[in-house]
Amino acid sequence: MNDYPLRRLGQTGPEVFPLALGCMGMSGMYGPASESESIATIHEAQERGVTLFDTGDFYGMGHNELLLGRALQGRRDKALLSVKFGALRGPDGAWLGYDTRPMAVKSALAYTLQRLGVDHIDVYRPARLDPAVPIEDTIGAIADLVKAGYVRAIGLSEVGEDTLRRAHAVHPIVDVQLEYSLVSRGIEEKLLPTTRALGIGVTAYGVLSRGLLSGSKPQGAQDFRSHLPRFTGENGEKNQRLVEGLNTLARAKGVSATQLAVAWVLAKGKDLVPVIGARTRAQFAESLGALDVTLSAEELQALERTVPASAVAGTRYAAPQMHHLDSER
């Protein structure tokens, strides 16, 4: 195993391996997944040095936490757990909204600890801003859990600059999860300067734009990407041309498009930790190869010219989900 320099989550968070493993796809979001392969992937990630594992209590309505808990039995001491909460699901899998009231925060954590089989969570964060609850109330409730020893650090996800500042004033925020990739660069204008001014890290998800940049296609109706604007109709056809440009640059450098896209995010700042959503050991191994890819300033510029974010067709989520993103306001 190569020794890669660790990256710290903000100024007050833990040091972590430069890539995190996102476990969402192991619980049906991209269609059926193999439980044995999912667990093998988690184990492989640990063996290769990964320390940060990201989940949400609403991924598979608790399935993902149960899976991760089983995978980490006897291995918890080498894992840092990042958990999102607050999204409400129906028995049919429907998305019903958000609840981050203080009593809901504490109840959600109680169930999360039980499902994961652990006594504390390393980074706990609301999945989205709840418009009905002041962020100060939500963070205050998590701060109570920090004092009680159930949570080590507080994070956020998809919030804007104002919310981030208000939250950070209540309790130090170690990192915020934001979508960031060659084709999703909206955070560069205001959000990234704000996180850096406040000393808050960024765990970057969607670094492959949900497989768009790696050439992955939706696998049937159960795959939530079949409802995303970037993958469907004319948008999908237009975006395929961007992917072809990325593939050309990758071949010229002797790496895969996946590795080039992940390496681009890694090169954009040591305060960024890409969250890799691998469901198999092969997918994980390919992404891990990005750590051995060095990009010069000229190569970064060439990438950004070839795959300009302004050219991508379609929003990163469908309109109803975009409406819930405080980071887009």
Residue of 30, 59, 98, 150 marked active site:
59
Among 51, 47, 65, smallest CA distance to 17 is for 51
309 within 8 A of 182, measured Cβ to Cβ: yes
Residues 203 and 200: their CA atoms lie apart, in Å, by 10
What HEC string does 172-226 produce?
CEEEEEEECECCECHHHCCHHHHHHHHCCEEEEECCCCCCCCCCCCCCCCCEHHH
Q: Is residue 111 annotated as part of the catalytic site, yes or no? A: no
Residue 286: partners with Cβ closer than 8 Å, 6 or more residues away: 256, 258, 259
Q: What angle do CA 275, 258, 283 make, to 5 degrees?
A: 70
Joined together, the tokens standing for residue 122 give: 């390393």
Query: Mind telling me the catalytic residues?
Result: 59
